[in-house]
Amino acid sequence: MLALFKDVLSPQKCGKNTLIQKTINLGGTSCTFKKPIPPFARYEISSRILCWDQKWVYVVSHFTRPGSNRPTRLLVGPQAAKPSKATGEAKKAEDQEDCIYATAIAKYVFKAGRVTCSPETVMTECGLLPPRPSTEEQQGSEDGTLNEKKGRQSHWSWSDVQDECQKHLELAHNFADLDQLHGTFIGRSGAAIYAY
C-alpha cells in the first residue's frame, strides 16, 4: 500500500497542484487457512487490490509456497521495464491453488484529516487508474477502436478495471458484513460463565 499510494501519503511540494496529504487506516482483516504452514517453513506473500467501494479499498493477500509467485511482468517499481523471467511459465488456476497456504483480506480507508476520501479519487491522484472515458467516447465508438487504442496505452482500459472491481465486490462486502459481530458483545447486559 505504501508503494502504490506514496504520492498521496507523502506528496511532493509542487506549488498549486500539490496533492493533499492523506493517511491510510486499516479497518479490518481476516485470514483463512487452506492448509497448515509447517513450523519454520518458508512462504511467499503476494498482495493486490481486490476491489473498492465508496469508502473501503479491499486488499487480498495469498500466502503460498516459495517459487509460486511468478508474474508474467511487473508494472510498477524499478523492475517494471525489465521483462520477467517467468514469461511463458503461467500455470492454470487449478495448479496455482495447490500452492496456497492461506488467503487474507484487509480493508483500508483513506483520510485527509478527518474527512474520508473516495478510493477511486485517491487511485486517480496516484495515476493507478486509466482515464475515464468521456461521454462521447461512451456513446460513440461502438466499433471498439477507441478502446483498442487505450488498451495499448495502458495495462487495462477503464471498463476492464470497473469489471474486475465489480466481479469481486460482493465477496468483499460479505467480509464487511462481519462488522455486525460488534453487536454480539454481551458486556454488562448478561451473565458470563467465568472470569479469568
Task: Give the domain ranges of the chain.
Answer: 24-71+89-180
pLDDT at 139 over 80: no
Alpha-helical (H) ranges within 32-157 are 93-97, 119-125, 135-139, 145-153
- d(CA 79, CA 64) in angstroms, rounded, equals 22
Per residue in 56-77, pLDDT tens?
Answer: 999 999 999 998 887 777 776 6
pLDDT at 136 over 70: no
- d(CA 51, CA 165) in angstroms, rounded, equals 4
pLDDT at 93 over 90: no
pTM score, whole prediction: 0.78
Residues paired with 23 in a beta bridge = 111
**Which residue shows C-alpha cell 499510494?**
5
- What is the pLDDT confidence band of residue 43, given thresholds at 50, 70 and 90? very high
Closest CA to 64 of 111, 96, 107, 23: 96
As assigned by CATH, the class of the 24-71+89-180 domain is alpha beta
3-state secondary structure (DSSP) of residue 194: coil
Q: What is the pLDDT of residue 98?
A: 85
The radius of gyration of the chain from alpha carbons, rounded to an integer in Å, stands at 21
